[in-house]
Structure 1
Amino acid sequence: MHWKGDINLSLDCFICRRTGRTTRLTHGAEHGTCSGDSRTGQHPAAARISAFDHTSERERTILRTIVDYWWAPFHDADRNQPSVTLTRTPWVQLHLGYLCPEPVRSGTFSTQTNPRHPQTDTCEHCAAPIVHSHYAPRIQLQT
């Protein structure tokens, strides 16, 4: 199993002035991409993956991603609510890859904060179980 180098994260976007926008971040990119809304469409987002690492211990893999995010206050007129820094628990989705031993082909899957856990994902080629996640991804805020 390996990290695919990108995540989706729910952020308040001061560019389109909308709260709870899905923002796609790719390791190595200078900025993210905000999903925008029906008026603005997708646009650059002031967020990026600044670092990541992984550790393995006792048949468990831990992925860490550090996201830099520039935020400015605004009011979301469509939802009639103010923006917030990451004080609410944002939604996150991690994209992962693997190598199927039979037949030798690569595949992908994702895990995110909102489905029920534990969760088992199966190979898209042979239907064998490839990963069992006991816990949802966690977000740890640092200022």
Structure 2
Amino acid sequence: MLVHTEIETIVTTAARAHFFWTKRVEFSHDCFVCRRRGRTVLLDHGASEGRCLSTRKPAELVGRGIHSYEDVSFIHPAPVRISGFDVAESRTDDVVERTLRCRITSWWAPFQDAKDPDEAGTVPTAYPWVRLEYTVGCFACYDNGHTEALSRTGGIQSNLVLPSADTCPTCGQTLLTADSGPKITLVV
């Protein structure tokens, strides 16, 4: 079954903020490939498939030291992709309201969870969430010689407490405000 999910969110940025969506999305999905419910799928706009972070590797396969999440996870291709990515903005004197609309298209088939056979996969997943990644920076601090001021990556998630704000670590000014999380809508 082909399934479409729409994601929409609005953030407000200060006029001094350098901002763009990175076109990377993390999305919860019941994956019929690994037969697990509530998996995190990493999506990049333009990629033909997502990457399902199925489960954690056993400690003996990882080794000692500090590792990224991808280093300690079994990752497999997932039949999920971003099929639409649209941004819009409206400006007033000192703020910019930025809207992101994203469509996620996936294949889905019924299955019983591999770890808990009494539970079946659903569309959407029982507890859907999404994380939208962005880069934000401060033009004023960049103009004053702080070259790192334009390259901080952040994100907004549907399952976090909001409102939230992102501030410049150099000058302390608020660069971004999110009053609510992304809305997830299953399109029939």
TM-score by length of 2: 0.70
**Letter matched to residue 109 of structure 2:** A
User: In the TM superposition, what are the counterparts of 1:1-143 in structure 2 within 5 Å?
Assistant: 1-38=19-56, 41-57=74-90, 59-79=96-116, 80-86=118-124, 88-101=126-139, 102=141, 103-104=146-147, 105-143=150-188
Query: Runs of 5+ in structure 1 lacking a partner?
Result: none
Instruction: Identify the structure with the greater helix proportion.
Output: 2
For residues 156 and 80 of structure 2, the distance between their equivalents in structure 1, rounded to whole angstroms, comes to 21
Counterpart code for 1:140: T
Higher RCO (CA < 8 A, seq sep 6+) = 2
How many residues align? The count is: 143
C-alpha change, 1:20 and 1:9, in structure 2 (3 Å) is: same
For residues 25 and 89 of structure 1, what CA distance do their matches in structure 2 show? 18
- Of the structure 1 ranges 109-118 and 79-88, higher mean CA displacement relative to structure 2 is found in 79-88
Percentage of pairs with the same residue: 37
RMSD: 1.8
Which portions of structure 1, spanning 4 or more consecutive aligned residues, are displaced by more than 3 angstroms?
A: 124-127
Change beyond 3 A, Cα 1:38–1:107: closer
TM-score normalised by length of structure 1: 0.91
What is the one-letter code of the residue matched to 2:86? D
Q: Can you give the 5+ residue segments of structure 2 that lack an aligned partner in the other structure?
A: 1-18, 58-72
